[in-house]
Structure 1
Amino acid sequence: MIAHLKSLLRKFDEKNTETDSIDFKTGLAALLVEVMRADGHTDKQELDSIEQTLITYCDLDITATSQLLDKAKQLVEQAIDLYSFVNVVNANTNDVERIEIIEFLWQVAYADGSLDGQEDHIIRKISGLMYVTHADFIQAKINVQESRIQ
């Protein structure tokens, strides 16, 4: 019994070490992946949107972007909540940058041509955790909708 408990505690310590190693780029990628996965489908357009965001915003090449996405997907699969991802993004951004990140999330949600209720829900949740006001949340959504029309 004690050996089993020690084993569980060791696994818990390993997971905490993994969580502590999340950097800004990984946290951002994980949030983008969360939105992509929210509707239960992984569309190529959404994946392309994430890749383009990471290449442009994080100044990565395609190889580094691919590696980052693989790591983010793995972390998202193992995560029980969004806290570790949002926490690192919040620690490395200001209010204006957080609103811009919410726009990136909306771009992923709209990349496949439709907005699923689960995508809207996860972006709303992330927005709240990032302390983005409701007005800025809505404006970010409108900005992305208008940019898709033009």
Structure 2
Amino acid sequence: MKILSDFFKSISSDSTVNIDNDTLESFTDEKILAISILLIEVSKSDDYYDELEKNTIIEIIREKFSLDKNQIDLLINLADKKNDEMISLHDFIEVLNKECSYSEKKDLIKMLWDVAYIDGRIDKYEDYTIRKISDLLYITHSDFIQAKLR
């Protein structure tokens, strides 16, 4: 996961967050990065990415992956940058299809809905984005609907 290490090294000199080599080496999980990018993708799909959505993503990541504040800050910055630069979801979906069980992928769809619902409404673009991600992760339609309605 040279990309993450290179990114962390490049921002460490001008970032207010202290980074050490142990943090860099321990944070090399493509799966967590891919999940974070998809969470951000859903939050930005309605062209309205606010602090409430960002804080929801941070809380989801903290609960699911037990990362410390520095790791989460770095991850969010990297995921946000990657999200802005990405052309396609497929590279990130490929990581998740290789590394996640079906149950983990269903949990991800639930997390995506949590982000979409946080502002009290589901935008048609949020719905479309989650549906597209769900299809690419080979989630059945019934599991997609169950995640949406829970």
Please give the TM-score of this superposition, normalised by the length of structure 1. Answer: 0.80
Please tell me whether Structure 1 or Structure 2 has the larger radius of gyration of its CA atoms: 1
Provide the residue aligned with 1:70 in structure 2: 77
Match of 2:63 among 48, 56, 60: 56
Counterparts of 1:99-118 in structure 2, within 5 Å, are 99-118=106-125
Greater helix fraction, Structure 1 or Structure 2: 1
For the aligned residue pairs, the C-alpha RMSD in angstroms reads 1.6
Cα distance, 1:18 vs. partner? 4.8
Could you tell me which amino acid in structure 2 is paired with residue 33 of structure 1?
I
Deviations 1:76-131 (CA, angstroms, capped at 9, x unpaired) = 11110101111111211111111010000000000111110000000000000000
CA 1:22–1:97: 2 relative to 1, 3 Å: closer
Distance 1:53 1:89 in 2: 17
Aligned length: 126
Provide the residue aligned with 2:143 in structure 1: 136
Distance 1:66 1:96 in 2: 27
Cα distance, 1:63 vs. partner? 1.6
Distance 1:45 1:73 in 2: 15
Matched, 1:126 2:133: yes
Unaligned runs of 5+ in 1: 1-16, 144-150
> Which secondary structure state, in structure 2, belongs to the residue aligned with residue 131 of structure 1?
coil
**Contact kept? 1:106, 1:123, Cα under 8 Å:** yes
Distance 1:109 1:43 in 2: 12
Provide the residue aligned with 1:11 in structure 2: none
> Which secondary structure state, in structure 1, belongs to the residue aligned with residue 79 of structure 2?
helix
Cα distance, 1:139 vs. partner? 0.1
